[in-house]
Structure 1
Amino acid sequence: MHTIWKGSISFGLVNIPIKLHAATEDKDVKLRSLHRECHTPIKYEKICPVCEKDLEYEDIVKGYEIAKGKFVVIEEEEIKELRNSSEEKAVEIVDFIKMEDIDPIYYNKSYFMSPNEGGKKAYSLLRKALTESNKVGIAKIAIRSKEQLAVVRVYQNTMVMETIHFPDEVRSTGDVPNVPAEDEVSKKELETAVMLIDQLSTGFEPEKYEDEYRQKLMDLIQSKQTGEKFVTPKEKAPAANVTDLMSALQASIDKTKPQKGPKPDTKAPAEKIQKKKRTTKKVEAQ
């Protein structure tokens, strides 16, 4: 399993070297955008709409929009300095609480935690202590330039760290439109709804749930593949137009060729006069 982070986790004076591994994966079926005519994948390029030119990485800076069309520019070096000052490779558990005290809306992403070299005993100690106390740890950690709150708990004999949102990242329910202030239901309607819930109540068995849309999409892709209903992009034309180039070269050669016809008279003027006199005498003698 790929390691995405190395560091340590501490509670009190106990320090445990650990590794983090992504506990979940995205199983979405990724579809590419193709040109309908030639089935070539579409390119998304960084282009400045004002300067009308392609941008390189070094041409781009970060900016925070403080008002419509007004930005504060933040240089990469400034971001790096802030990142270095806060990104200590440590997870510090600051509190222990009951897991039911955390509303699920706060949960974000899960990571498996494994002990790094020399950390097995301390890892086992924390895992056992969390299980015996029926508590979870609240910790702080910096991952990918973002400081986050996290819950450290035990899941199937493995410690898991789940990042959670800060309170100001969870929107207020008061901003949700059209929520009725009071329940306008009759007693009979309520009893019927509760009865239905009781009939459908069961234990949570995650294995019996599946992404039906993803499965149907994969079945469609498989049927097209086995039925050879697939497309390939057209080959890109050569960068240089050889035909036009050869035509231009040939036209240039033809233009510079000497013209065919009577040879130009290159004799000197005096020689021309002598030749004319001899011709005149010959005519008179006849």
Structure 2
Amino acid sequence: MPRSSWKGYLKLSLVSCAVALYNATSASERVAFNTLNRKTGNRLKQNLVDSVSGDPVDTADRVKGYQVAKGQYVMVEDDELEAVKLESTKTIEIETFVPAAEIDDVYLDNPYYLAPDDKVAEEAFAVIREAMTRKKMVGIGRIVLARRERMLMLQPRGKGMQATTLRYPYEVRQDGEIFGEIGDVKLPAEMLDIAQEIINRMSGHFQPDRFSDRYEEAVVALLRAKQAGESFVVPEPSQPANVVNIMDALKKSLEAAGGEGALRRPRAPSKKAAEAPAKGTARKPTAKKAPARKAARG
């Protein structure tokens, strides 16, 4: 069982239960490097020094500071920051419920797993989880992580919940800043047809195991080669050139995806064909004329 990164209480109105928060991702398996002295091969240690005198500063003399003007700082002690405690330091209180589709992906930050912290908490935890599942809603609350209060999105996940920290609006750039200069492009229908067919032929299901970290694999191969005293050469990646004729590139892409060239747009059905009944459709019976009665002989 991994160690939790936070412990506290999950609260919905008057219902509360003890919960633990766990990191949903890990970078511990990645290759990590140390900084060494090239001449001795010894590992280097970082040492904080005074920016003016250049003298090393003891741990006891280090303090946080906020710059209010150039070269002017307000010092803040750790115990002063500790005193600024919020309720969300130890409690995740769900403040509202919203449809998950309303939360723009750009607001999503770091994912966590939330689970009950003891057997007594399981029933209350399950009630909150199952109610969200049935209503198809996610909960929005607050949590303090690393002394910072963050918005938190809670959604059911199996027997537990996924908790995702959300960015505040001031942390999110508006896409208009980036996309505002993109012009309106009128695209030929044939180009879109081919592009959509390429997507169709390349479509499947998300299988993350199919995607390997090629940079990590190359670094590991480099380290193994150096450890064995062998040379290691990484081939230069090819740089894609700007496409001049988009239609030609699309047609070649379609062939590479298993096609037989450009798509042919379906022709509009003729008037006669449009009026004909579809294959397999029963023809509507026509009304028969009533036979004329013979005049009675007198």
Q: Tell me the TM-score normalized by structure 1.
A: 0.71
1:151 is aligned to 153
Instruction: Tell me the equivalent position of 1:211.
Output: 213
Q: Provide the secondary structure at the position in 1 that maps to 2:97.
A: strand
Note the 1:1-286 alignment, pairs <5 A: 1-26=2-27, 27-82=29-84, 84-117=85-118, 118-176=120-178, 179-183=181-185, 185-225=187-227
For the 8 Å contact 2:88–2:142, the answer to whether it is kept is no
Cα distance, 1:155 vs. partner?
2.1
Extract unaligned runs of 5+ from structure 2.
232-298
What SS class does the counterpart of residue 95 from structure 2 fall into?
strand
Q: Which gives a bigger RCO, structure 1 or 2 (Cα 8 Å, sep 6+)?
A: 1
The separation in 2 between residues aligned to 1:177 and 1:127, in whole angstroms, is 39
Larger radius of gyration: 1
Inter-partner Cα distance in structure 1 for 2:190 and 2:70: 53
Q: Is the 8 A contact 2:107 2:172 kept in 1?
A: yes
Structure 1 pair 87–120 and aligned structure 2 pair: CA distance change class (3 A): closer
Percent identity over the alignment is 27
- Name whichever structure is richer in helix by fraction: 1
Which whole-Å deviations, capped at 9, do the CAs of 1:189-209 have from their partners, x for residues lacking one?
444333333332222122222
CA distance in 1, matches of 2:90, 2:73: 32
RMSD over aligned Cα atoms: 2.4
Are the counterparts in 2 of residues 87 and 143 from structure 1 also a CA contact under 8 Å?
no
Task: Give the C-alpha shift of residue 87 in structure 1.
Answer: 4.9
Q: C-alpha distance in 2, partners of 1:192/1:199? A: 11
Distance 2:23 2:45 in 1: 30
| Contact 1:127 1:154 (C-alpha < 8 Å) held by counterparts | yes
1:16-75, Cα deviation, whole Å (9 max, x unpaired): 211111111014311112222221222221011311200112222222223443333323
TM-score (norm 2): 0.69
5+ long unaligned stretches in structure 1: 230-286
Q: How many residues align?
A: 228
**Compared with structure 1, are the counterparts of its residues 31 and 63 closer, same or farther at alpha carbon in structure 2 (3 Å cutoff)?**
same
Change (3 A) 1:93 1:193: same
Aligned AA (1:97):
V
Q: Which residue of 1 aligns with 2:242?
A: none
Partner of 1:280: none
The amino acid that maps onto 1:89 is K
> Are the aligned partners of 1:108 and 1:164 in contact in 2 as well (CA < 8 Å)?
yes
Deviations 1:163-203 (A, max 9, x none): 11111111222433884143365444444333333332222
Partner Cα distance (2:210, 2:98) in 1: 31
**Change beyond 3 A, Cα 1:178–1:44:** farther
Q: CA deviation at 1:149?
A: 0.4
**Gap change, CA 1:115 and 1:186, over 3 Å in 2:** same
**Aligned amino acid, residue 116 of structure 2:** P
Distance 1:136 1:108 in 2: 16
